[in-house]
Structure 1
Amino acid sequence: MRGREWRRAVGLAVGAVLATGSLVACSTGTQAAPVVDVTGVQGQAPTVTYVAPLDVGHTYRRTIWAGTGPELVDGGPVLLDFWLENATDASVVKETYTDSPATRTLSEEDLGVDLYQSLRGQRVGARVLQVAPGASSGSTTYPTVTVLDVLPLRADGQAVAPVPDLPAVALADDGAPSITPSSAPAPTTLVAQPLKKGAGAQVGAQDVVTFQYAGFAWTTGEEFDSSWARGAPVSHSLLDLSQAFTEGLVEQTVGSQIELVVPPTYPLGVTAGAELSGQTVVFVVDILATRTPTQKAAG
């Protein structure tokens, strides 16, 4: 299971590498913009082509394609896939496409000035190119080429008609769910009902899944756990999650929102707390990304 330590390691790696370039965005100068070609499709790692070594005098940035989702909020969370190369020899320094996306805060403090400027004003779904010079001191003295994909922080699939007798789910402006309890008897078997159906990749049995979730008591609708309340999605191997999540999320698709109704015959883990022992609970899960571990060996 990947927790705060893993996310901190990713954050430090990105920050150390990306925040050490030029401290101004697209500073003026006579040097022509470096020729860097970015190809590929949404949801997959980009192909970056240029003649190395690149001569980079100041930071350049270009939107490869614009996003059509919500605009990023200053100081708010942002979920990123990125591909980072050393522009001296075109070697890959770090990338997330064979692992899990990185959750960051849209601020200069967290991202560094260059990366913050590249992402500010972008929308979910955008792909952005940044080419930056190396710093005169620090851990990154070489020029870098970075491609960033801005991923959604909430399910963006097509709405599915609600099922009678299940708790009704309402969404706040930021996507955080709440439920209205159902007066119907609680199901005695696990229910995994899509509320939205995404068009992305299908979750495999051994995948590392990035998702938002909130858990509620069936009888009262009271929330007992939420990634939304903590301000960031989580990434876990499906093998490390509770049996209900393992069974309920496998073969679902990225972009989907799933209502999981978990009867008391399923173990819940420590997040539910002893007070919910023997009770039916409801999870609302937004699937944001899924990665198969074997992709890393093949990449």
Structure 2
Amino acid sequence: MRRLIAVALAVVLLVAGCTRNSDGAADVQVGGDPGASPTLRFRAPLTVTEPSSTVVWAGTGSALVEGKPVLIDYWLENAETGAVVAESYTTSPKPYLLTKESLGTDLFAALRGQRVGARIVEVSPASAARGMTFPTVIVMDVLATRAEGDPVPARPGMPIVTLAADGAPTITPTTTTPPTDLTVVPLIKGTGDQVPTGAEVTIQYTEVDWATGAVVDSTWSTGLPVSFSLAGLGAWSQGLVEQTVGSQVMVVVPPSFGLGGPAGSELQSATLVFVVDILAATKPTAPVSPPVTIAPSTAPSSSPTS
């Protein structure tokens, strides 16, 4: 998406009061509530000669950290026609590292120093180098990359979870007998909407073996959240549906779900423990257009098949 998102002329912001860019070339109004798809109003065709960005509103959440993940929802329109080119609000937000290499120089500059919850608008001229034959207007919402909410008291007999400064969990095993049924243990209660059945979810997670505490898989090792559909994924669906966005939950999965792998797999008979940060959830509808992304989002490697 970095080729589509580069850049922008100063704008008139509906929510921030009316101002005009220095050469009077572009007027853009941005509406819409936090967490919802934005609405854009501008007189097309929009004349765009130079790139710049403007903060629609500042975020009040955690500060973005250079080199660490940033998660954004975006809405991209053709500045000549006002047509929607691509958007993520009906699918999944897109993760990047907050680096020039991942985002490109202009977007990196626009996001650096911002906080979770910020809404930023950029307008970019056409550029053959970026593969864009028309100028673009894009609105970006900065989302959290870790659970944010109220801690829930630990449940006796469950593995102990401690969090690093960036939110990455360490899971200490217990000597108690693991449950024989799938068990969901809330750790942090988020304030977002409930995850609906069949949702497209965006999460961070760490997976360990109940018996040894050995890490089987983790998004925190790569630093980027993943997105996938819960449709048909039994253990994931049972563990995450009706939880609230922003929550962190422990999902204990017995070997009967087959997440340890095929016959002969080292973990075939293992009880697995997932600590999951729920960052976003969208019940898929027909998107306005195919979403644009740099790094494709996939389900965890040990996702169930039923």
CA distance in 2, matches of 1:285, 1:153: 12
Aligned to 2:183: 191
**TM-fit CA distance, 1:76:** 2.4
Aligned to 1:11: none
The answer on 1:262 being equivalent to 2:253 is: yes
Aligned to 1:5: none
CA distance in 1, matches of 2:285, 2:10: 38
Aligned to 1:95: 87
Q: In structure 1, what residue type is equivalent to 2:255?
A: P
Alpha carbon RMSD of aligned pairs, Å?
2.3
So what's the TM-score if we normalise by structure 1? 0.86
**TM-fit CA distance, 1:92:** 0.7
Q: Which moved more, 1:180-189 or 1:92-101?
A: 180-189
Q: Which moved more, 1:127-136 or 1:216-225?
A: 127-136
Aligned to 2:146: 154
Gaps of 5+ in 1: 1-13
Alignment partner for residue 279 of structure 2, among 288, 292, 295? Answer: 288
Aligned to 1:107: 99
Change in 2 beyond 3 A, CA 1:52/1:168: same
Change in 2 beyond 3 A, CA 1:198/1:60: same
Stretches of 4+ aligned residues off by more than 4 angstroms: none
Aligned to 2:2: 15
Gaps of 5+ in 2: 12-20, 289-306
CA distance in 1, matches of 2:226, 2:22: 44
Alignment partner for residue 160 of structure 2, among 150, 168, 172? Answer: 168
CA distance in 1, matches of 2:73, 2:82: 19
Aligned length: 278
Q: In structure 1, what residue type is equivalent to 2:195?
A: V
Q: Percent identity?
A: 49
Matched ranges for 1:1-299 at <5 A: 14-19=1-6, 30-32=22-24, 34-135=26-127, 139-241=131-233, 243-268=234-259, 270=261, 274-294=265-285, 296=287
Q: In structure 2, what residue type is equivalent to 1:275?
A: E
CA distance in 2, matches of 1:136, 1:279: 53
CA distance in 2, matches of 1:224, 1:157: 26
Q: In structure 2, what residue type is equivalent to 1:44?
A: A
Contact preservation (8 Å) 2:10, 2:123 = no
So what's the TM-score if we normalise by structure 2? 0.84
Summarize deviations over 1:141-191 as a string: whole Å, max 9, x none: 322111011111111122111111111110111111111222322112111
